[in-house]
């Protein structure tokens, strides 16, 4: 049997760092096929994606991915743990992925595994510290960081030194650790594989050679610094990006949702705001007060604290936008993904799909319309899909061209197919 | 005691037709003072007002009104009956208004009174026909029209001929009839007084001499045809209008709410939409389908039918915007206004206010903040005020200048005071 490597991605946009990762993955597992689980139109940072999921799928297929499965939005917009768990469960559910490949700072699996095992075992001192920090309102990564530091200083059962821990604690590694935790959690047989990141750091805004962070590339694009984009985004992805922009469907900026978000904040009762995930005690009144801000910039100025990072606030606003409350989210986290929504596949991916059909333990969805009408599909699955469709319908209102803002794109767009011999 | 004439207005914007009406009212009741109950930031057509309620108050005071009381938004955005009833009850509640003055096509009270008495008595054949037409989904004026025509053709108890009825049935007369009905309903002692309209008809878009309809003036303004505005809007109102525009606070156009409205439609379940006033059987699915429209123009194209006039659709969208459902509205209609929110007064109005204070049977509100915190104020009154505040907070998002979009304007703006000896 051919090896199948799974990756978890946002490709916002697909850049040279992503290309490097895929090349390395192929070196590590020669002859492997690649399946990516990708966020749809909204990202883990609580932002709209630069261009829509179909365009990003097209770019990914042209750059070497064989199948793109959408990470349901209810997982895609969560903080690291929920995001990683939803993604790993999705790859597992294909029934054919046997490697999970992800980036990390040092490219060494062992220390990451050590932390992941430690966290997954949930030793009481660590669990207590983590709960404490979360209750204090720290963001998940910050709480994790503090809990681990505390136990490494005081506990006897923490196998890594405080210094090693400190060096490990970067955004990419946090996701890596969460993938490893998720693999353990579901006793997955997927083999973890980590690749050392090259070039610019996660938050670096400067390109280093031909590699820049996605954040840096997005900023360059909004500032119309096309030099950066040309240098750091491979030609197929760049062409698609520019085509979308020319069609008035990109770049989609959070600012395009300012009115919608401010109107929702102004309309929502404090109780409604308190019901949103990641909103803890007291935050609802601050949100309500900040709702008077004239624009998003002032809103974030008003709200941002050490406890409430910008990313966390943005996620909260997306929960509000989607009407995704604590109760709904905890149901989805408990239940896990309910379907495999295929956004696109290459010629090779087509053959893989027939294998998935026989092996997968979740339904394969290529067209949402019949799926949500199917009497055999559970209400929970339909509800999850409802959020994906709503997420697209709201995303469309952020397209720069008013003519492009028609809803129901999930029902109109066919699965993206790419055959290298035919296309381009 | 001095006579007090009450008028029901939107002043969107205050124009020469309004000035003419006030002059005539003063002729009819010499020495009278004038109290206007005015819609706030949203109008009976379901549209945002051109400029906000404080600016329109200022214009009205400078043009001769002594006190402006805000018609709570829960009445201001209703169709004729609810609008008129809320307004008449508000004037009645001042305890000092002894004339109610309104325009009509012919300026003759008698035939209007005849219809109003007939309708108010609700004879069974008429009531049955009206219910039938409303159930069929006709708009309120259309249903009224049909019911009256039917009874005048078939009934024995209808005192007016079909032809007389036909001539009476114009938008201005419909409001006039509703004012008369409301007076009877609450056994008011206010003396009705009608003034023949001069110049352009309600829907006419062309100016006739120095008079144009408010609709015509708004259109001219959006098309930047300032000639029409200069000719038909008296200098004080015009100056204020231009000042607001220069400050980036006008003209406020429905189109500025396109994203907010489309996002709400896309987010709302059919059940939620069915709960909105004026939405009858089946309309919710059409609304849901039309939610995919890329802009408001296409939305109305998709939705407009003979039964669902544009005005009615716009009102439905405002109900959605404000989360004002059938249940809430029927409570407010039953309860009537809960307070007299004074938006502004002239020097003469100041003296009148002290009289109102001793005579009114509703609390006088000049500052909403202490009002909504007052433990002696009923939850129903606070809820009504909550809608006024929300209406302003959402209206602010439609200001052309992003810097002006700060919420909480109802808490920041003082009552408008105008002293002709001091100001201007």
Residue-wise pLDDT tens digits, B384-393: 999 999 999 9
Residue found by looking up tokens 């909480």 in the block: B408
Closest C-alpha among A160, A150, A159, A156 to residue A127 = A150
Q: Quick one: average pLDDT of B269-281?
A: 93
Closest C-alpha among A289, A265, A261 to residue B408 = A289
Of the partner residues B262, B393, B396, the one whose CB lies closest to the CB of residue A397: B262
Whether B363 shows a pLDDT value over 80: the answer reads yes
CB spacing of B292 vs A406 below 8 angstroms: yes
The more confident residue out of B169 and A279 is: A279
Residue A396 with chain B: CB contacts under 8 Å: 294
Which of A41, A254, A258, A260 has the highest number of chain B CBs within 10 A, making it the mutation to test binding with B?
A260
Whether B235 shows a pLDDT value over 70: the answer reads yes
CB spacing of B407 vs A260 below 8 angstroms: no
Which of A257, A262, A263, A405 has the highest number of chain B CBs within 10 A, making it the mutation to test binding with B?
A263
The kind and range of the H/E element at A8 are strand A4-9
CB spacing of A292 vs B263 below 8 angstroms: no
> How many other C-beta atoms are found inside a 10 Å radius of the C-beta of residue A141?
20
Question: What is the per-residue pLDDT for B162?
Answer: 79
Q: Quick one: average pLDDT of B20-26?
A: 96
Residue of B nearest to A404 (CA): B294
Range with lowest mean pLDDT among A31-40, A291-300, B141-150, B272-281: B141-150
Question: What is the per-residue pLDDT for B86?
Answer: 98
Give residue B336's Cα distance to chain centre. 15
Whether B120 shows a pLDDT value over 90: the answer reads no
- pLDDT band (50, 70, 90) for residue B408: very high
Per-residue pLDDT for chain A (424 aa), expressed as one digit of tens each?
A: 789 999 999 999 999 999 999 999 999 999 999 999 999 999 999 999 999 999 999 999 999 999 999 999 999 999 999 999 999 999 999 999 999 999 999 899 999 999 999 988 888 888 998 999 888 878 777 888 888 888 888 766 778 887 888 888 887 899 999 999 999 999 999 999 999 988 655 555 565 678 899 999 999 999 999 999 999 999 999 999 999 999 999 999 999 999 999 999 999 999 999 999 999 878 999 999 999 999 999 999 999 877 788 999 999 999 999 999 999 999 999 999 999 999 999 999 999 999 999 999 999 999 999 999 999 999 999 999 999 999 999 999 999 999 999 999 999 999 999 987 765 4
First vs last C-alpha separation in chain B: 30
Whether B202 shows a pLDDT value over 70: the answer reads no
> What are the φ and ψ backbone dihedral angles of A110, each rounded to 5 degrees?
-60, -55
Question: What is the per-residue pLDDT for A168?
Answer: 83
Residues in B lying within 8 Å of A, measured between beta carbons: 257, 259-260, 262-264, 266-267, 291-295, 321, 323, 390, 393-394, 396-397, 402-408
Residue A405 with chain B: CB contacts under 8 Å: 262, 294-295
Whether B297 shows a pLDDT value over 80: the answer reads yes
B17-43 burial, b for 16+ CB within 10 Å, e for fewer?
bbbbbbebbbeebeebbbbbbbbbbbb
* pLDDT, averaged across chain B: 92
* Domain at B4-105+191-250+336-418, CATH from 3.40.640.10, 3.30.2420.10, 3.40.50.10140, 3.40.50.620: 3.40.50.620
CA distances from B56 to B10, B12, B40, B94 (A): 9, 7, 9, 21
* Domain at A4-105+191-248+336-418, CATH from 3.90.550.10, 3.90.79.10, 3.90.660.10, 3.40.50.620: 3.40.50.620
Question: What is the per-residue pLDDT for B399?
Answer: 98
Q: Are A61 and A344 in contact (CB under 8 A)?
A: yes
- pTM over cut 0.90: yes
- pLDDT band (50, 70, 90) for residue B155: low
Domains of chain A, by residue range, sit at 4-105+191-248+336-418, 109-169, 254-326
Of the partner residues A292, A397, A403, the one whose CB lies closest to the CB of residue B259: A397
Helical H segments across B155-210, by residue range: 162-168, 171-185
Q: What is the predicted ipTM?
A: 0.91
Conformation bin of residue A79: beta by default, left when phi > 0, alpha when psi is -120 to 50 = beta
Of the partner residues B260, B263, B406, the one whose CB lies closest to the CB of residue A292: B406
Which of A252, A258, A259 has the highest number of chain B CBs within 10 A, making it the mutation to test binding with B?
A259
Question: What is the per-residue pLDDT for B159?
Answer: 80
Residue B318 with chain A: CB contacts under 8 Å: none
Q: Give dist(CA A392, CA B211) in Å, integer.
A: 48
Q: Quick one: average pLDDT of B245-254?
A: 96
Q: Quick one: average pLDDT of B399-406?
A: 96
Q: How deeply is B363 buried, as exposed, middle or buried, from its count of CB atoms within 10 A (0-12, 13-18, 19+)?
A: middle
Token pair, residue A248, equals: 């008035």
Residue A407 with chain B: CB contacts under 8 Å: 262, 266, 291-293
Percent of chain B with pLDDT over 70: 96
Q: How deeply is A311 buried, as exposed, middle or buried, from its count of CB atoms within 10 A (0-12, 13-18, 19+)?
A: middle
CA distances from B117 to A88, B194, B309 (A): 73, 16, 27
Residue of B nearest to A386 (CA): B267
**3-class DSSP assignment, residue B240:** helix
Range with lowest mean pLDDT among B186-195, B263-272, B278-287, B312-321: B278-287
Of the partner residues B262, B264, B390, the one whose CB lies closest to the CB of residue A266: B390
Q: Give dist(CA B198, CA B364) in Å, integer.
A: 35
Q: Give dist(CA B156, CA B214) in Å, integer.
A: 40
Question: What is the per-residue pLDDT for B157?
Answer: 75
DSSP letters, A83-139, are HHHHHHHHHHHTS---EEEEEESS--HHHHHHHHHHHHH--HHHHHHHHHHHHTT--
Q: How deeply is A298 buried, as exposed, middle or buried, from its count of CB atoms within 10 A (0-12, 13-18, 19+)?
A: middle
CB spacing of B323 vs A260 below 8 angstroms: no
- How far is A318 from chain B, CA to nearest CA, in Å? 13
């Amino acid at each position: 049997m051919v090896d199948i490597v799974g990756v978890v991605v946002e490709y916002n946009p697909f850049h040279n760092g992503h290309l490097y990762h895929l090349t390395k993955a192929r070196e590590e597992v020669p002859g492997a096929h690649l399946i990516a689980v990708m966020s749809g139109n909204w990202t883990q940072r609580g932002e709209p994606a630069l261009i829509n999921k179909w365009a990003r799928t097209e770019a990914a297929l042209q750059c070497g991915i064989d199948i793109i499965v959408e990470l349901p939005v209810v997982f895609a917009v969560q903080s690291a743990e929920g995001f990683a768990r939803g993604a790993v469960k999705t790859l597992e559910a294909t029934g054919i992925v046997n490697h999970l490949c992800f980036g990390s700072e040092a490219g060494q699996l062992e220390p990451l595994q050590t932390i992941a095992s430690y966290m997954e075992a949930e030793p009481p001192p660590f669990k207590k510290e983590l709960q404490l920090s979360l209750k204090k309102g720290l963001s998940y990564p910050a709480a994790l960081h503090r809990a681990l530091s505390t136990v490494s200083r005081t506990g006897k059962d923490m196998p890594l030194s405080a210094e090693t821990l400190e060096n490990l604690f970067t955004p990419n590694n946090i996701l890596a650790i969460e993938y490893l935790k998720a693999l353990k959690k579901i006793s997955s047989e997927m083999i973890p594989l980590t690749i050392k990141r090259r070039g610019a750091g996660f938050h670096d805004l400067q390109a280093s050679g031909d590699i820049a962070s996605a954040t840096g590339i997005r900023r360059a694009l909004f500032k119309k610094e096309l030099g950066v984009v040309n240098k750091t985004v491979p030609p197929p992805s760049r062409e698609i990006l520019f085509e979308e922009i020319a069609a008035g469907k990109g770049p989609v900026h959070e600012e395009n949702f300012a009115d919608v978000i401010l109107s929702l904040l102004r309309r929502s009762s404090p109780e409604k705001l308190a019901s949103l995930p990641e909103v803890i005690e007291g935050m609802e009144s601050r949100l309500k007060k900040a709702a008077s801000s004239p624009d998003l910039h002032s809103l974030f100025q008003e709200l941002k604290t050490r406890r409430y990072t910008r990313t966390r606030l943005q996620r909260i606003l997306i929960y509000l936008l989607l009407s995704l409350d604590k109760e709904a989210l905890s149901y989805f986290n408990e239940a896990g993904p309910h379907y495999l929504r295929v956004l696109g596949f290459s010629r090779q991916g087509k053959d893989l799909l027939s294998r998935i059909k026989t092996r997968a333990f979740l339904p394969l969805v290529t067209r949402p319309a019949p799926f949500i009408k199917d009497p055999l599909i559970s209400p929970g699955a339909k509800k999850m899909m409802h959020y994906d469709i709503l997420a697209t319908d709201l995303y469309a209102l952020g397209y720069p061209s008013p003519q492009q803002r028609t809803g129901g794109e999930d029902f109109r767009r066919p699965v993206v197919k790419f055959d290298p011999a035919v296309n381009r």
